[in-house]
Amino acid sequence: MRDDIASIYLDNNATTALDPEVLEAMMPFLTACYGNPASRSHAFGWAAADAVKVARQSIANAINADRPTDIVFTSGATESVNLALSGLDALRGASKRHVITSMIEHKAVLDTCARLTDRGVPVTCLRPGQDGVVTPESVRHAIRDDTRLVSIMAANNETGALQPTEEIGAICRDHGVVFHTDATQALGKTALDVKRMGIGMAAFSAHKIHGPKGVGALYVDSTNPRAALSPLIVGGGHERGLRSGTLNVPGIVGFARAVELAVKRRHAESARVGRLRGTLRDYLVANVPDIAINGHPTACLPGTLNISFAGVDAASLLLELPDIALSSGSACTSALHSPSHVLLAMGASASRIQSSVRIGIGRFNNEEEIGYVGRRLAEAVALLRAMAPAVPDAPSVRHGT
């Protein structure tokens, strides 16, 4: 490992290490089984097509989708979101129907909604509570006669806050509105049942659950005529005509294996990762004064901890910890050097946002690492505060207030 590569990885919301079992499943399709699944005249193509069919069924089973063909493979969740929102027939042409989303969505949703606005589609952006949760009541009150789509994420990528997906889905069902959810962070970490939750479309990405990068999927309920889509990418009619292009067979096989492992291990892994999160949180609360936990204290992803250290610049804090991979926000937002729009929407002050760090604990982290990270964070915060003392943003705030 090079000196400039972190030795402890705690940025699992951004991406995850490829599980060895996933790589093992992919290897035959990276070597001997290299056929194109659209080649229907020989064994190489048949083997590839069979592998894709099995993978599609496996992912459909994991989310309780009735039809495996409702799984449309894409390059990742960002493309899936774009297809769901920009491709929805009810929002295209002269109809200009209404859309509801939230201020804490991933930029893939927010930027696509901005394009819809440019096309003349009215978009209502709901503000969450201080705990980072969008209430079902706010969705209900925002629905209009011309509302055709609600897009609320299942779990937030910065705070880990779980959204009331099932309740929102029920509201959408009652009003005849398509419910789309960005389930990228939720898949394999929380229970996800598209039928019970009233989900019409859902976006996924493999690399958030120890699968390969560059592959994802969009679930589309083909029994719901209101969820009819037009393709954004044409040229061959692949994926029921919704996403043309040669299928990434190794990626799809790896994606399916990652989903299988995540679902199989979900309860045990969530409990273990949740304990690690609790250990780190409790240590920091006990040993570092003037900190605040951002997001819901209990309704959250087991491995996500977003914490503000009053009087400390997060970028400086990360520089003091070169051997630990942490984040000062989502990977996409960090790439733009922008302050967290999620914390801003939750009502956090500029200084609190600037002092916030996201910790993403995952499958391959252990107690020894968590203990070390807690001590290093406490030492680094004390050092930075001693170098540049500042008035705390808020007195010993703990959870989402």
Pair (200, 335) in one structural domain: no
Q: Within a domain: residue 386?
A: no
What's residue 92's pLDDT?
Answer: 82
Domain count, the chain: 2
Q: Are residues 180 and 157 in the same domain?
A: yes
Query: What is the C-alpha to C-alpha distance for residues 172 and 176, in angstroms, rounded to an integer?
Result: 6
Q: Is residue 122 part of a domain?
A: yes
- Predicted pLDDT at 336: 53
Residue 93 domain flag: yes
Q: Are 137 and 81 members of one domain?
A: yes
Same domain, 185 and 276: no
Q: What per-residue confidence (pLDDT) applies to 397?
A: 45
* Phi/psi at 151 (5° precision): -125, 100
CA dist 379 and 312 (Å) reads 12
Per-residue pLDDT, 1: 43
What is the pLDDT at residue 388? Answer: 76
* CA angle at 88 for the pair 87 and 89, rounded to the nearest 5°: 105
Q: Which of 261, 278, 301 is the last residue of a domain?
A: 261
Report pLDDT digits (tens) over 53-76.
Answer: 999 999 999 999 999 999 999 999
Which tokens is 214 given? 């560059």
Same domain, 178 and 229: yes
Tell me, yes or no, whether 1 lies in a domain: no
Give a yes or no: residue 401 inside a domain. no
350, part of any domain: yes
Catalytic residue among 33, 113, 172, 332: 332
For residues 19-39, one letter each, b for 16 or more C-beta atoms within 10 angstroms of the residue's C-beta and e for the rest, the string is beebbebbeebeeebebebee
Whether residue 250 is found in the same domain as residue 343? no
User: What are the distances in angstroms from CA 282 to CA 161, 271, 287, 288, 343?
Assistant: 18, 16, 9, 10, 22
Q: Are residues 218 and 341 in the same domain?
A: no
For residue 354, what is the domain's CATH number?
A: 3.90.1150.10
Residue at 387 is within a domain: no
Statement to judge: residues 208 and 223 lie in one domain? yes
Phi first, then psi: what are they for 202, rounded to 5°?
Answer: -145, 140
> pLDDT > 70: what percent of the chain?
92
Residues 142 and 211 in one domain: yes
- Is 113 catalytic? The answer is no
Boundary residue ending a domain (233, 261, 289): 261
Do 203 and 189 sit in the same domain of this protein? yes
pTM value? Answer: 0.93
- Any domain includes 397: no
> Closest Cα to residue 341, out of 84, 100, 127?
127
The CATH code of the domain that includes 192 is 3.40.640.10
| Same domain flag for 184 and 64 | yes
Residue 39 and residue 140 in one domain: yes
pLDDT of residue 95: 66
Boundaries of domain holding 308: 8-15+266-380
3-state secondary structure of 216: strand
Q: Which residues of the chain have pLDDT under 50?
A: 1-2, 331, 334, 391, 394-401
Residue with tokens 């790439």: 335
Is the CB of residue 147 less than 8 Å from the CB of residue 100?
Answer: yes
Element (H, E) at 42: none
